[in-house]
Amino acid sequence: MKEIYLDNSATTKPLPEVIQKMIEALTEGYGNPSSLHNKGLEAEKYLKTAREKIAKKLGVQPDEIYFTSGGTEANNLAIKGAACHYRNRGKHLITTAVEHPSVLESFRVLEGEGFEVTYLKTDKYGLISLDELRDNITEETILVSIIHVNNELGSVHDLEKIGRIIKEKNKNTLFHADCVQSFGKFALNPEKNLIDLLTISGHKIHGPKGIGALYRKKGVQLKAQQVGGGQEKNLRSGTENVPGIAGLIPALDAFEENQLYEKLKKLRKHFLEGLEKIKRRVIVNSPPDGAAHILSISFPGIKGEVLIHSLEAEGIYLSTGSACHSRSREKSHVLKAAGLTEEQIDGTIRISFSSFNTEEEIDYTIEMINKKLEIFF
Ligand SMILES: Cc1ncc(COP(=O)(O)O)c(C=O)c1O
């Protein structure tokens, strides 16, 4: 049976050249980058190359990039690290109600330590009000953390406007952006957008799992959340995940953002046109100008979970929401914050594209959705 993978926001399939590079790093370049001998230097080269490539994509300096075990760790480090270092400046932090759990849970920990957190509400697309953001920044606000592309809805926050508002209101307030879903698809520019800290992850760009990075603007201080041998300039101790970092290299080379985005946009358009053939009521939850690779749709009165499993039987893989929610019974906090009804949330599925999807796959998926809706509901 042909496999149609439409869950690329959860993770992407690693490219063959990524796997090749990882095998190379495991079989030949297996040294410890901290070792002084040649094997160590060989391993260190992977780190240097990957760091330079990430920095180039972001238009920043390589020594502003710190490897982590993924987006989750980078978010934890940015948020807890900044709050702990700058706690003497103030106790107020701002984020949104629609962040990834790695961001929300970091803020919950900080609340437990006496910080005061403002969770900005959003509109039906999961977008905050910029006026509300401005109104909430005070002299006491040390950090604002905002998701760029929402992993469930595909809505896109305007980082440039947000950065300007933050710095106009309080030039000392740090700006962290979770760019896990946008890195590799959007041309990101932390300097222009006045971003101090930015999170990326390897497995959303056809790279390996368990590897990510944090951009930290020069001069910004963070309290390390993990101590030990002092790797990554004392910010993230632990022997680096060399195969993971090596695997990032071909993934970073594989796509040019604008070209990839154009391709994804066509797939999204094709899917949306296909939805007109669906014989049941469909609500598109994603904004019309949402990110090209993520589409959230609801079939009210239908169980998304049942639909997902029935499509899986046909070799079609998609999800009900984010991968982190799909195994828990709790309803998505993002869809709740966007004001969807319980019935709508239960009937939601998320389709997320990669450059390897085709219009034929989409046509088949639409056909199968129609068929399953007739059989099961
Ligand atoms: C927006 C967002 N932030 C953070 C993460 C966590 O990244 P990782 O899986 O690399 O820990 C994800 C993963 O789905 C995400 O979508």
Catalytically annotated residues: 324
71 lines ligand 1 (CB under 6 A): yes
CA distances from 127 to 98, 107, 124 (A): 8, 19, 7
Token output for 239: 């022997």
Same domain, 146 and 268: no
How many whole angstroms separate alpha carbon 164 and alpha carbon 170? 10
Token output for 334: 């993002």
What mean pLDDT do residues 99-106 have?
A: 98
How many whole angstroms separate alpha carbon 162 and alpha carbon 131? 10
Token output for 233: 């300039």
Same domain, 95 and 44: yes
Ligand 1 center–CA 100 separation, angstroms: 7
96 lines ligand 1 (CB under 6 A): no
For tokens 């001998």, name the residue: 37
Q: Is the pLDDT of residue 159 over 80?
A: yes
Same domain, 239 and 281: no
Quick one: the chain helix, strand, coil %, rounded to 5?
Answer: 40, 15, 40
Same domain, 34 and 153: yes
Q: What is the pLDDT of residue 1?
A: 85
Ligand 1 center–CA 276 separation, angstroms: 32
For residue 70, give the ligand 1 atom closest to its CA.
10
pTM assigned to the model? 0.97
Same domain, 171 and 201: yes
Residues 6+ apart with CB under 8 A from 34: 40, 229, 231, 239
Best of 153, 157, 201 to mutate for ligand 1, by most ligand atoms within 8 A of CB? 201
Same domain, 93 and 225: yes
Q: What is the pLDDT of residue 375?
A: 86
What mean pLDDT do residues 60-71 have?
A: 98
* Per-residue pLDDT reduced to its tens digit, 160-178: 999 999 999 999 999 999 9
How many whole angstroms separate alpha carbon 320 and alpha carbon 14? 22
Could you tell me the pLDDT band of residue 323, with boundaries at 50, 70 and 90? low
Q: Which of 197, 230, 254 lies at the terminal end of a domain, its last residue?
A: 254
For residue 99, give the ligand 1 atom closest to its CA.
1
Q: What is the CATH number of the domain that holds 264?
A: 3.90.1150.10
319 lines ligand 1 (CB under 6 A): no
| Residue 310 lies in domain | 4-12+256-376
Same domain, 244 and 126: yes
CA distances from 50 to 18, 58, 62, 75, 122 (A): 12, 12, 9, 20, 36
Percent of the chain with pLDDT over 90: 95
Same domain, 276 and 195: no
Same domain, 147 and 236: yes
Same domain, 61 and 201: yes
Ligand 1 center–CA 211 separation, angstroms: 11
181 lines ligand 1 (CB under 6 A): yes
Q: Could you tell me if 230 and 237 are in contact, meaning their C-beta atoms sit under 8 angstroms apart?
A: yes
Which amino acid residue places its CA nearest to atom 16 of ligand 1? 151
Nearest residue to 157 via CA among 199, 96, 106, 208:
96
Angle, vertex CA 5, rays to CA 327 and CA 46, nearest 5? 90
Domain count, the chain: 2
Best of 12, 69, 72 to mutate for ligand 1, by most ligand atoms within 8 A of CB? 72
Which amino acid residue places its CA nearest to atom 14 of ligand 1? 10
212 lines ligand 1 (CB under 6 A): yes
Q: What is the pLDDT of residue 326?
A: 53
Ligand 1 center–CA 341 separation, angstroms: 25
- The conformational region for residue 42 under phi > 0 = left, psi -120 to 50 = alpha, else beta, is alpha
Token output for 37: 């001998």
Q: Which of 220, 239, 254 lies at the terminal end of a domain, its last residue?
A: 254
* Per-residue pLDDT reduced to its tens digit, 237-291: 999 999 999 999 999 999 999 999 999 999 999 999 999 999 899 999 999 999 9
Q: Which of 208, 233, 254 lies at the terminal end of a domain, its last residue?
A: 254
Same domain, 264 and 236: no
Q: What is the CATH number of the domain that holds 35?
A: 3.40.640.10
Which amino acid, one-letter code, is at 215? Y
Q: Is 254 helix (H, G, I), strand (E, B) or coil?
A: helix
Same domain, 352 and 368: yes
